[in-house]
Homo-oligomer: A and B are copies of this chain.
Amino acid sequence: MKKIAVIGSGAVGCYYGGMLARMGQDVHFLMRSDLEAVRANGLTIQTGGERLKIPHVKAHASTKEIGHCDLVIISLKATGNQALEALLPPLIGPDTALLTLQNGLGNEEFLCKRWGAARVMGALCFVCLNRTAPGVIEHFDQGSISIGEFQRPSQARTRSIVEAFKSAGIDANVAENLLTERWRKLLWNIPFNGLSIAAQGATVSDVLADEGLRNLARHLMDEVLDAARRLGHDIRDEFADYQITRSATMGPYKPSSMIDWELGRPVEVEAIWGEPWRQGVAAGAGMGRLETVYRLLQRLTAR
Protein backbone atom coordinates (compact mmCIF):
# COMPACT_ATOMS: atom_id res chain seq x y z
CA MET A 1 0.00 0.00 0.00
CA LYS A 2 1.34 3.41 -0.89
CA LYS A 3 -1.09 5.69 0.94
CA ILE A 4 -3.84 4.82 3.39
CA ALA A 5 -6.56 6.98 4.97
CA VAL A 6 -8.48 6.09 8.12
CA ILE A 7 -11.90 7.74 8.28
CA GLY A 8 -13.39 7.44 11.72
CA SER A 9 -10.68 7.47 14.34
CA GLY A 10 -12.42 5.71 17.18
CA ALA A 11 -11.00 2.62 18.86
CA VAL A 12 -11.15 0.39 15.76
CA GLY A 13 -9.69 2.94 13.33
CA CYS A 14 -6.89 3.95 15.70
CA TYR A 15 -6.01 0.36 16.52
CA TYR A 16 -5.70 -1.02 13.00
CA GLY A 17 -4.44 2.27 11.52
CA GLY A 18 -2.00 2.67 14.39
CA MET A 19 -0.63 -0.86 13.98
CA LEU A 20 -0.15 -0.24 10.22
CA ALA A 21 1.54 3.15 10.85
CA ARG A 22 3.78 1.62 13.50
CA MET A 23 5.25 -0.74 10.90
CA GLY A 24 5.99 2.06 8.45
CA GLN A 25 2.83 2.32 6.34
CA ASP A 26 1.88 5.84 5.20
CA VAL A 27 -1.33 6.18 7.23
CA HIS A 28 -3.37 9.39 7.39
CA PHE A 29 -6.02 9.74 10.08
CA LEU A 30 -9.04 12.02 9.81
CA MET A 31 -9.60 13.25 13.35
CA ARG A 32 -11.89 15.62 15.14
CA SER A 33 -11.94 15.62 18.93
CA ASP A 34 -8.60 13.82 19.27
CA LEU A 35 -6.73 15.84 16.62
CA GLU A 36 -4.60 18.04 18.89
CA ALA A 37 -3.87 15.31 21.43
CA VAL A 38 -2.71 12.91 18.70
CA ARG A 39 -0.62 15.54 16.91
CA ALA A 40 1.08 16.28 20.24
CA ASN A 41 1.41 12.78 21.71
CA GLY A 42 0.79 10.30 18.90
CA LEU A 43 -1.19 7.14 19.50
CA THR A 44 -0.82 4.68 22.36
CA ILE A 45 -2.03 1.08 22.18
CA GLN A 46 -2.10 -0.81 25.45
CA THR A 47 -2.09 -4.50 24.73
CA GLY A 48 -1.32 -7.52 26.90
CA GLY A 49 0.72 -5.58 29.45
CA GLU A 50 2.64 -3.83 26.65
CA ARG A 51 2.36 -0.14 25.84
CA LEU A 52 2.92 0.46 22.13
CA LYS A 53 3.73 4.09 21.33
CA ILE A 54 3.29 5.49 17.83
CA PRO A 55 4.85 8.94 18.40
CA HIS A 56 4.55 10.57 14.98
CA VAL A 57 1.05 10.25 13.55
CA LYS A 58 -0.29 11.99 10.45
CA ALA A 59 -3.51 13.43 11.83
CA HIS A 60 -5.68 15.65 9.65
CA ALA A 61 -8.70 17.87 10.15
CA SER A 62 -10.10 17.35 6.65
CA THR A 63 -9.94 14.81 3.85
CA LYS A 64 -8.93 17.57 1.41
CA GLU A 65 -5.65 17.81 3.35
CA ILE A 66 -5.11 14.08 2.79
CA GLY A 67 -5.88 13.85 -0.95
CA HIS A 68 -6.01 10.72 -3.10
CA CYS A 69 -5.26 7.41 -1.39
CA ASP A 70 -4.80 3.82 -2.50
CA LEU A 71 -6.88 2.52 0.37
CA VAL A 72 -9.53 4.22 2.49
CA ILE A 73 -10.32 2.41 5.72
CA ILE A 74 -13.80 3.38 6.93
CA SER A 75 -14.33 2.91 10.64
CA LEU A 76 -17.02 5.49 11.36
CA LYS A 77 -20.14 4.33 13.15
CA ALA A 78 -22.69 3.18 10.56
CA THR A 79 -25.05 5.82 11.95
CA GLY A 80 -22.68 8.44 10.48
CA ASN A 81 -22.66 7.09 6.92
CA GLN A 82 -24.35 10.17 5.46
CA ALA A 83 -21.19 12.16 6.31
CA LEU A 84 -19.20 9.96 3.91
CA GLU A 85 -20.85 11.65 0.92
CA ALA A 86 -18.84 14.80 1.69
CA LEU A 87 -15.78 13.16 3.30
CA LEU A 88 -14.80 10.55 0.72
CA PRO A 89 -14.58 12.33 -2.69
CA PRO A 90 -11.25 14.12 -1.97
CA LEU A 91 -9.68 10.72 -1.16
CA ILE A 92 -10.86 8.86 -4.25
CA GLY A 93 -8.56 8.51 -7.25
CA PRO A 94 -9.00 6.13 -10.21
CA ASP A 95 -7.88 3.01 -8.29
CA THR A 96 -8.81 3.80 -4.72
CA ALA A 97 -10.20 0.88 -2.73
CA LEU A 98 -12.82 1.55 -0.05
CA LEU A 99 -12.60 -0.87 2.88
CA THR A 100 -15.39 -0.68 5.44
CA LEU A 101 -14.64 -2.05 8.91
CA GLN A 102 -18.15 -1.16 10.07
CA ASN A 103 -20.49 -3.52 11.86
CA GLY A 104 -23.59 -5.16 10.55
CA LEU A 105 -25.37 -5.13 7.23
CA GLY A 106 -25.88 -2.39 4.65
CA ASN A 107 -22.54 -0.55 4.70
CA GLU A 108 -21.02 -2.12 1.57
CA GLU A 109 -24.32 -1.44 -0.21
CA PHE A 110 -24.10 2.22 0.83
CA LEU A 111 -20.58 2.60 -0.66
CA CYS A 112 -21.45 0.55 -3.73
CA LYS A 113 -24.40 2.77 -4.68
CA ARG A 114 -22.27 5.92 -4.58
CA TRP A 115 -18.80 4.88 -5.77
CA GLY A 116 -19.33 1.58 -7.62
CA ALA A 117 -19.03 -2.06 -6.55
CA ALA A 118 -15.48 -2.50 -7.88
CA ARG A 119 -14.00 -0.20 -5.22
CA VAL A 120 -15.84 -1.76 -2.31
CA MET A 121 -14.28 -4.12 0.21
CA GLY A 122 -15.32 -5.02 3.70
CA ALA A 123 -13.66 -6.41 6.77
CA LEU A 124 -14.76 -8.10 9.95
CA CYS A 125 -12.86 -7.16 13.08
CA PHE A 126 -12.81 -9.69 15.90
CA VAL A 127 -11.29 -7.55 18.56
CA CYS A 128 -12.06 -6.20 22.04
CA LEU A 129 -11.07 -2.54 22.22
CA ASN A 130 -11.93 0.56 24.19
CA ARG A 131 -10.75 4.10 23.58
CA THR A 132 -9.86 5.20 27.11
CA ALA A 133 -8.52 8.72 26.37
CA PRO A 134 -7.77 10.82 23.26
CA GLY A 135 -5.32 8.77 21.19
CA VAL A 136 -5.20 5.97 23.77
CA ILE A 137 -6.64 2.57 22.83
CA GLU A 138 -6.92 -0.32 25.21
CA HIS A 139 -6.73 -3.68 23.46
CA PHE A 140 -8.29 -6.39 25.65
CA ASP A 141 -8.55 -9.49 23.60
CA GLN A 142 -8.24 -11.01 20.14
CA GLY A 143 -7.56 -8.76 17.15
CA SER A 144 -8.04 -10.77 13.99
CA ILE A 145 -9.45 -9.23 10.83
CA SER A 146 -11.05 -10.90 7.79
CA ILE A 147 -10.89 -8.84 4.62
CA GLY A 148 -12.90 -9.52 1.47
CA GLU A 149 -14.30 -8.10 -1.72
CA PHE A 150 -17.95 -7.09 -2.04
CA GLN A 151 -19.92 -9.45 -4.33
CA ARG A 152 -16.84 -11.09 -5.85
CA PRO A 153 -14.01 -13.41 -4.86
CA SER A 154 -10.67 -12.16 -3.60
CA GLN A 155 -8.41 -10.20 -5.98
CA ALA A 156 -4.70 -9.39 -6.08
CA ARG A 157 -5.38 -6.23 -4.02
CA THR A 158 -7.25 -8.26 -1.38
CA ARG A 159 -4.19 -10.41 -0.80
CA SER A 160 -1.82 -7.43 -0.80
CA ILE A 161 -3.92 -5.61 1.82
CA VAL A 162 -4.06 -8.75 3.96
CA GLU A 163 -0.27 -8.97 3.67
CA ALA A 164 0.07 -5.34 4.82
CA PHE A 165 -2.01 -6.10 7.91
CA LYS A 166 -0.02 -9.26 8.58
CA SER A 167 3.26 -7.32 8.31
CA ALA A 168 1.86 -5.00 10.99
CA GLY A 169 1.49 -7.94 13.36
CA ILE A 170 -2.24 -8.38 12.89
CA ASP A 171 -3.84 -11.78 12.44
CA ALA A 172 -5.38 -11.04 9.03
CA ASN A 173 -6.97 -13.33 6.48
CA VAL A 174 -8.93 -13.23 3.24
CA ALA A 175 -12.72 -13.54 3.49
CA GLU A 176 -13.85 -15.28 0.31
CA ASN A 177 -17.51 -14.69 1.16
CA LEU A 178 -17.82 -11.36 2.89
CA LEU A 179 -21.58 -11.47 3.57
CA THR A 180 -21.34 -14.92 5.12
CA GLU A 181 -18.64 -13.52 7.40
CA ARG A 182 -20.91 -10.58 8.25
CA TRP A 183 -23.64 -13.00 9.35
CA ARG A 184 -21.09 -14.99 11.36
CA LYS A 185 -20.10 -11.82 13.20
CA LEU A 186 -23.73 -10.84 13.75
CA LEU A 187 -24.14 -14.17 15.50
CA TRP A 188 -22.17 -12.60 18.36
CA ASN A 189 -23.09 -8.93 18.01
CA ILE A 190 -26.84 -9.43 17.91
CA PRO A 191 -27.11 -11.16 21.29
CA PHE A 192 -24.20 -9.68 23.22
CA ASN A 193 -24.34 -6.07 22.01
CA GLY A 194 -28.14 -6.22 22.10
CA LEU A 195 -28.61 -7.66 25.56
CA SER A 196 -25.93 -5.37 26.99
CA ILE A 197 -28.29 -2.45 26.35
CA ALA A 198 -31.68 -4.18 26.63
CA ALA A 199 -30.67 -5.51 30.07
CA GLN A 200 -29.58 -1.97 30.94
CA GLY A 201 -25.88 -2.45 31.28
CA ALA A 202 -25.01 -6.17 31.14
CA THR A 203 -21.39 -6.99 30.31
CA VAL A 204 -20.50 -10.21 28.50
CA SER A 205 -19.88 -11.96 31.82
CA ASP A 206 -23.16 -10.60 33.24
CA VAL A 207 -25.05 -12.19 30.35
CA LEU A 208 -23.20 -15.49 30.70
CA ALA A 209 -23.64 -15.61 34.49
CA ASP A 210 -27.44 -15.15 34.23
CA GLU A 211 -28.84 -18.51 33.13
CA GLY A 212 -31.93 -16.94 31.54
CA LEU A 213 -29.94 -14.36 29.57
CA ARG A 214 -27.32 -16.92 28.55
CA ASN A 215 -30.02 -19.20 27.12
CA LEU A 216 -31.68 -16.22 25.48
CA ALA A 217 -28.36 -15.25 23.85
CA ARG A 218 -28.05 -18.79 22.47
CA HIS A 219 -31.67 -18.76 21.23
CA LEU A 220 -31.06 -15.41 19.52
CA MET A 221 -28.13 -17.10 17.79
CA ASP A 222 -30.49 -19.83 16.57
CA GLU A 223 -32.70 -17.19 14.98
CA VAL A 224 -29.69 -15.59 13.27
CA LEU A 225 -28.47 -19.00 12.06
CA ASP A 226 -31.88 -19.75 10.57
CA ALA A 227 -32.03 -16.39 8.79
CA ALA A 228 -28.46 -16.70 7.48
CA ARG A 229 -29.09 -20.19 6.10
CA ARG A 230 -32.27 -19.10 4.35
CA LEU A 231 -30.16 -16.34 2.73
CA GLY A 232 -27.62 -18.89 1.50
CA HIS A 233 -24.95 -18.55 4.18
CA ASP A 234 -23.95 -21.93 5.50
CA ILE A 235 -23.08 -21.45 9.17
CA ARG A 236 -22.99 -24.46 11.45
CA ASP A 237 -24.48 -24.85 14.93
CA GLU A 238 -21.01 -25.60 16.27
CA PHE A 239 -19.96 -22.08 15.35
CA ALA A 240 -22.68 -20.66 17.60
CA ASP A 241 -21.62 -22.93 20.45
CA TYR A 242 -18.06 -21.77 19.94
CA GLN A 243 -19.17 -18.12 20.16
CA ILE A 244 -20.59 -18.80 23.62
CA THR A 245 -17.43 -20.64 24.67
CA ARG A 246 -15.05 -17.96 23.48
CA SER A 247 -17.17 -15.26 25.15
CA ALA A 248 -16.45 -16.86 28.51
CA THR A 249 -12.84 -15.72 28.13
CA MET A 250 -13.83 -12.05 27.78
CA GLY A 251 -14.83 -11.40 31.38
CA PRO A 252 -16.76 -8.20 32.15
CA TYR A 253 -16.19 -6.85 28.64
CA LYS A 254 -18.50 -4.09 27.50
CA PRO A 255 -19.57 -4.53 23.86
CA SER A 256 -18.97 -1.38 21.83
CA SER A 257 -22.71 -0.67 21.56
CA MET A 258 -23.00 -0.71 25.35
CA ILE A 259 -20.27 1.90 25.65
CA ASP A 260 -21.92 4.03 22.98
CA TRP A 261 -25.22 3.76 24.82
CA GLU A 262 -23.69 4.59 28.20
CA LEU A 263 -22.03 7.67 26.73
CA GLY A 264 -25.18 8.78 24.91
CA ARG A 265 -23.57 8.27 21.50
CA PRO A 266 -25.51 6.88 18.51
CA VAL A 267 -25.89 3.09 18.48
CA GLU A 268 -25.82 1.16 15.17
CA VAL A 269 -29.34 -0.20 15.69
CA GLU A 270 -30.30 -0.52 12.02
CA ALA A 271 -27.01 -2.10 10.86
CA ILE A 272 -26.79 -4.68 13.65
CA TRP A 273 -30.46 -5.48 14.45
CA GLY A 274 -32.84 -3.75 12.02
CA GLU A 275 -31.36 -4.87 8.69
CA PRO A 276 -30.74 -8.51 9.76
CA TRP A 277 -34.29 -8.66 11.17
CA ARG A 278 -35.77 -7.31 7.93
CA GLN A 279 -33.70 -9.64 5.75
CA GLY A 280 -34.52 -12.64 7.94
CA VAL A 281 -38.25 -11.93 8.01
CA ALA A 282 -38.24 -11.40 4.23
CA ALA A 283 -36.61 -14.83 3.88
CA GLY A 284 -39.34 -16.41 6.02
CA ALA A 285 -37.37 -16.86 9.24
CA GLY A 286 -39.07 -16.58 12.64
CA MET A 287 -37.25 -13.70 14.31
CA GLY A 288 -39.38 -12.98 17.38
CA ARG A 289 -36.53 -12.60 19.86
CA LEU A 290 -34.60 -10.38 17.45
CA GLU A 291 -37.73 -8.30 16.82
CA THR A 292 -38.14 -7.81 20.56
CA VAL A 293 -34.53 -6.77 21.10
CA TYR A 294 -34.58 -4.53 17.99
CA ARG A 295 -37.76 -2.69 18.97
CA LEU A 296 -36.56 -2.19 22.55
CA LEU A 297 -33.20 -0.88 21.31
CA GLN A 298 -34.87 1.55 18.94
CA ARG A 299 -36.75 2.99 21.88
CA LEU A 300 -33.87 2.82 24.40
CA THR A 301 -31.38 4.53 22.10
CA ALA A 302 -33.71 7.28 20.83
CA ARG A 303 -32.58 10.74 21.82
A: which residues have CB within 8 A of B?
Answer: 195, 198-200, 202, 210, 212-213, 215-216, 219, 223, 286, 288-289, 291-296, 298-300
Q: Is the CB of A292 within 8 A of B295?
A: no
List B contacts of A200 (CB < 8 A).
Answer: 200, 299-300
* Residues on the B chain within 8 Å of A223, using CB: 288
Query: Is A216 a contact partner of B291 (Cβ separation < 8 A)?
Result: yes
Chain B residue with the shortest CB-CB distance to A274: B212
Residue numbers in B under 8 Å from A288 (CB-CB)? 219, 223, 286, 288-289, 292
Complex A-B: 5 CB contacts under 8 Å: A200-B200, A202-B299, A212-B298, A216-B291, A296-B296
Q: How many identical subunits does the complex contain?
A: 2
Secondary structure class of chain A's binding surface, majority of residues: helix
CA distance A295 to B206 in the complex (A): 13
Q: How far is the CB of A196 from chain B (nearest CB, A)?
A: 11
A296-B199 CB under 8 A given contacts A288-B286, A288-B288, A289-B291: yes
Residues of chain B with a CB closer than 8 A to A210's CB: 295, 298-299
Question: In whole angstroms, what is the CA distance A138 to B61 when docked?
Answer: 59
Chain B residue with Cβ nearest A288: B288
Which chain B residue shows the least CB distance to A216? B295
- Bound together, the chains give a CA A235 to CA B62 distance in angstroms of 62
Q: Which residues of B contact A299 (CB under 8 A)?
A: 199-200, 202, 210, 212-213
- Closest B residue to A222 using CB positions: B288
* Contact assessment for B293 and A292 in the assembled complex, using a CB-CB cutoff below 8 Å: yes
- Bound together, the chains give a CA A284 to CA B202 distance in angstroms of 30
Compute how far the CA of A291 lies from the CA of B218 in the bound complex, rounded to whole angstroms: 12
